[in-house]
Amino acid sequence: MACADSKVDLEKIPLVALNMSVRKKLGLYLNPKHTVAADWMALAEAMGFNYLEIKNYEVSKNPTCTVLENWQARSTDTSVGKLLSMLSELDREDIVEDLRPLINEDVRKYCENLKKKAEPPLQVPEVDSCVPRTPERSGITVDDDPEGVPEMFDAFICYCQSDFAFVHEMIRELEQTDYKLKLCVFDRDVLPGSCVWTITSELIEKRCKRMVVVISDEYLDSDACDFQTKFALSLCPGARSKRLIPVIYKPMTKPFPSILRFLTICDYTRPCTQAWFWTRLAKALSLP
């Protein structure tokens, strides 16, 4: 593992380890258009983005952050070490040197979090009344059999509470019709009492073939939705397995999340395509 040794291998640390503070500071160096020093456009070219993609990123409030998000989403070859190597190759050692302490701190926190997740939670014998003790990732959904095969789903539904009425409609249209799909709806299917992040990761990675992301203005403010989306994207860079399916069901006032712009959207807000909406979504979820 990248964090197992005393000396961390930055080439194996994923880009997600860098928090927004470091990304914004990178933007302070790279967003201004320099006549001599390489800027965000040069970095985007080094990452493999083409001319049209780079022109589209120009309208972004923070092009550097947008480029980093999209590079992280579409490529398997992203890491903190790779980013630092690119900056060095572009003669931006000034950035590497100035931000190295902050980057090292982010990597340290990332590695600490990995270790914490790997360690089993402490149990106090006097209050642990579960005998026999059930493994942490068994018996996590309503229809799970802890002694048998875990419950499997066609799709995990990523949504925020304000969009729950549409999730109910999705259940009616996809589960209670001839499509007979099996959806994983957290508030309905997951048993209480377990670690939210651990269970969510288990469901998305091992129990669900795909994930439907219900996009709305409220979704953009949800930490849980942000985690679920980025975790699913990390499992399928470039969407080669068609794992993520973004859905828009009502008009938005905020910009569509840039990290999902490269995916085909299922749009319920367009009257001319509403008649095909559920058929398209069901077909996508029915793929092997």
Choose between 21 and 169: higher pLDDT.
169
In a domain, 127, yes or no: no
Q: Residue range 185-205: average pLDDT?
A: 90
Do residues 99 and 30 touch, judged by C-beta distance below 8 A?
no
Q: Which residues of 66-75 are buried (b: 16+ CB within 10 A; e: fewer)?
A: bbbbbbbbbe
Same-domain status, 157 and 274: yes
Per-residue model confidence (pLDDT) at position 241: 59
CATH of residue 23's domain is 1.10.533.10
Whether the per-residue pLDDT at 138 is higher than 70: the answer is no
Supply the mean pLDDT for the chain. 85
Per-residue model confidence (pLDDT) at position 183: 96
In a domain, 251, yes or no: yes
Q: What is the domain extent for residue 85?
A: 10-118
Which range has the worst mean pLDDT, 62-76, 209-223, 245-259?
62-76
| Phi, psi dihedral angles at 214 (to 5 degrees) | -85, 105
Indicate the pLDDT class of residue 132, thresholds 50, 70 and 90: very low
Per cent of the chain over pLDDT 70 is 85
Choose between 148 and 59: higher pLDDT.
59
pLDDT tens sequence across 70-117: 888 776 678 899 999 999 999 999 999 999 999 999 888 888 877 776
Do residues 44 and 132 touch, judged by C-beta distance below 8 A?
no
Same-domain status, 166 and 239: yes
Per-residue model confidence (pLDDT) at position 121: 52
Same-domain status, 278 and 159: yes
Same-domain status, 167 and 243: yes
Per-residue model confidence (pLDDT) at position 128: 41
Same-domain status, 158 and 112: no
Which range has the worst mean pLDDT, 124-138, 152-166, 259-273?
124-138
Which range has the worst mean pLDDT, 54-63, 68-77, 172-181, 224-233?
68-77
Per-residue model confidence (pLDDT) at position 124: 46
Total domains, the chain: 2
In a domain, 2, yes or no: no
Whether the per-residue pLDDT at 155 is higher than 90: the answer is yes
Same-domain status, 109 and 163: no
Helices marked H in 119-203? 164-174, 186-189, 196-202
In a domain, 137, yes or no: no
Choose between 148 and 169: higher pLDDT.
169
Boundary (domain end) residue, out of 61, 91, 118: 118
